[in-house]
A and B are shown apart, each in its own frame.
Chain A
């Protein structure tokens, strides 16, 4: 046992020295390797973080949303529709909602205008007040107490005073949000008092969502009922698809890298070949040489992986993945300057390792063996 341990220690030690003896070659390899880990890791960590954000957003939404449909298109719900849903068993709360989009030509961005629901006491507003998301505040240089002017497509003006700015912890969701008071909203969009964008239904027991949706559909046949699970799946599928596409593009980079690794490992310099021959001749067996060389590969992998992961992590969580944002996010014009909640997830790290370290080690196995199996008598000639 002890000898086996000492043997490993000596071989590891030897591997460190042999790496140190060829600093340029090995640092170059580490740099390229780390870059590959960084690219793949950034895409993965970013995709996972965005999916988590979306899950947070959906988790805070209602279990069930009812939308009026006319000829297959979304219509406004009426107060009578809301009343028709009253008394449904298993429903805790029914809340009509008012929200809509506004293209702001000044900021060249889309805002989501919304009336905070009656149950949301924390964001209750008086007439003429607004609460804005982090992205809006940044684009329009707003702070609590400043004035926000909005112009509707019909040319209506809305002048509000910013009451507060939403915190950035779920910035992806709320970044483009502008909360205004109900009568301001109706006046701004010229809405009659009995229409609503949709109806949020909170269900007491999450397991009954499907049943409640069925029963509600019977009462309001003109409405579409979307469950939270539906939205989660749609969002999940959308993000995954983008991420997968980016990774597929990077697969080329990975392959090129594996070929490079193979080439580096097989194209040893004459000096290195001579060294291995000497080691074999003075009493190392093939297994010892393979161990030492795989230790070298492991050290290179470990170092490059560490650098790459730290880089990707910093890139995603502190620089908002500046390099990939356009590819991955796609639909929003207002990028939140979010601190995406930094997390370390074992599944993501393990996946990244399997996508990068495994191909590298697999690529060097055969060349390493080929050099290690060199005839020990070669150095005599």
Chain B
């Protein structure tokens, strides 16, 4: 359970170009459910995701994960919480060029000091699971869009996170790949993961697996359904 209380995020505080990207959000995100944030461009969805995902600290307000206050933690503990709790799938996938699919998937686990052998076995297992068995050693710049996204999802899952965060997961995909993504999201939900996405794609916002639809505008939550 992730709880937000009065979360704000202000950029360029005190300067002429000050922007209040998130202005006072209270929200509970239930475990094992699929939650989708939607809203017009610039409404603060991505910014809110970064705060929830411990990528950024809120300017004011509190964030609790399973009751633990994370909003005041020093960076290294925030990082610790982040890598134990969250897996990220970015809009542009953000794979590192020049490295193989396998090397990309193991990246989040490198600072944890996991034994090399077991790490590689796990990564190969994930890639095989997502139908990329013959792409393991291929450099990621040679992958198709859908394959790249599945590598990114495998990477997000390497540390067994409880929550998977995806920002505009279908923005870079063409039509038929969207169904494939939804299938994976459904599987994640089935295995007990919490899934948190932003999207304006109706195929996502209206999908059957979505448990909760949160609508934002101007940095505030305007509607939560159901």
Contacts and interface: CB of A to CB of B under 8 A. Distances in A.
A and B touch in their complex, CB below 8 angstroms? yes
Interface of A: 2-7, 9-11, 14, 17, 21, 271, 274-275, 277-279, 281-288, 375-377, 379-381
Contact of B167 (A6, A10, A278, A380): A380
Contacts of B180: none
A282 B107 contact: yes
Interface string B43-68: 00011011000011000000000000
Given A376-B55, A380-B50, A380-B167, A282 B99 contact: no
B98 interface: yes
Nearest to A274: B94
A381 B46 contact: yes
Given A6-B116, A285-B75, A379 B94 contact: yes
A5 B115 CA distance: 10
B79 A283 contact: yes
B181 interface: no
B56 A3 contact: no
B50 A7 contact: no
A17 B90 contact: no
Given A4-B113, A7-B112, A10-B116, A279 B107 contact: yes
Given A380-B46, A380-B55, A288 B111 contact: yes
B220 interface: no
- 5 closest A-B pairs by beta carbon, nearest first, are A283-B83, A3-B113, A7-B113, A285-B79, A6-B113
Contacts of A279: 107
Contacts of B76: 285-287
Nearest to A283: B83
Nearest to A379: B94
Contacts, number: 85
For A274, A283, A375, A380, the residue with the greatest tally of chain B CB atoms inside 10 Å of its CB is A283
Interface of B: 46-47, 49-50, 55-56, 75-76, 79-80, 82-83, 88, 90-91, 94-99, 103, 107-108, 110-116, 155-156, 159, 167
Nearest to B161: A283
Contacts of A9: 116
A287 B77 CA distance: 12
28 contacts: A2-B113, A3-B112, A3-B113, A4-B113, A6-B115, A6-B116, A7-B110, A9-B116, A278-B95, A281-B94, A282-B88, A282-B108, A283-B79, A283-B159, A284-B107, A284-B110, A285-B75, A285-B79, A285-B80, A285-B111, A287-B76, A375-B56, A376-B55, A377-B47, A379-B94, A380-B49, A380-B50, A380-B91
Given A9-B116, A286-B76, 18 more contacts: A5-B113, A6-B115, A7-B110, A11-B111, A14-B110, A275-B96, A278-B94, A278-B95, A281-B88, A281-B90, A282-B156, A283-B108, A284-B79, A285-B111, A376-B56, A380-B55, A380-B90, A381-B46
A6 B94 CA distance: 25
Contacts of B114: 3, 6
A10 B111 contact: yes
Given A282-B108, A283-B79, A283-B83, A379 B90 contact: yes
A50 B82 CA distance: 61
A203 to B, nearest CB: 66
A375 B56 CA distance: 8
A286 B46 contact: no
Nearest to B114: A6
B75 A377 contact: no
Contacts of A275: 96
Contacts of B108: 282-284
Given A17-B99, A281-B90, A285-B76, A377 B50 contact: yes
Contacts of A285: 75-76, 79-80, 111
Contacts of A381: 46
A279 B104 CA distance: 10
B193 to A, nearest CB: 16
Contacts of A286: 75-76
Contacts of B83: 282-283
B130 to A, nearest CB: 17
A23 B131 CA distance: 33
Nearest to B78: A285
For A7, A274, A285, the residue with the greatest tally of chain B CB atoms inside 10 Å of its CB is A285
B180 to A, nearest CB: 22
A220 to B, nearest CB: 78
A63 B161 CA distance: 80
Nearest to A284: B111
A271 B97 CA distance: 9
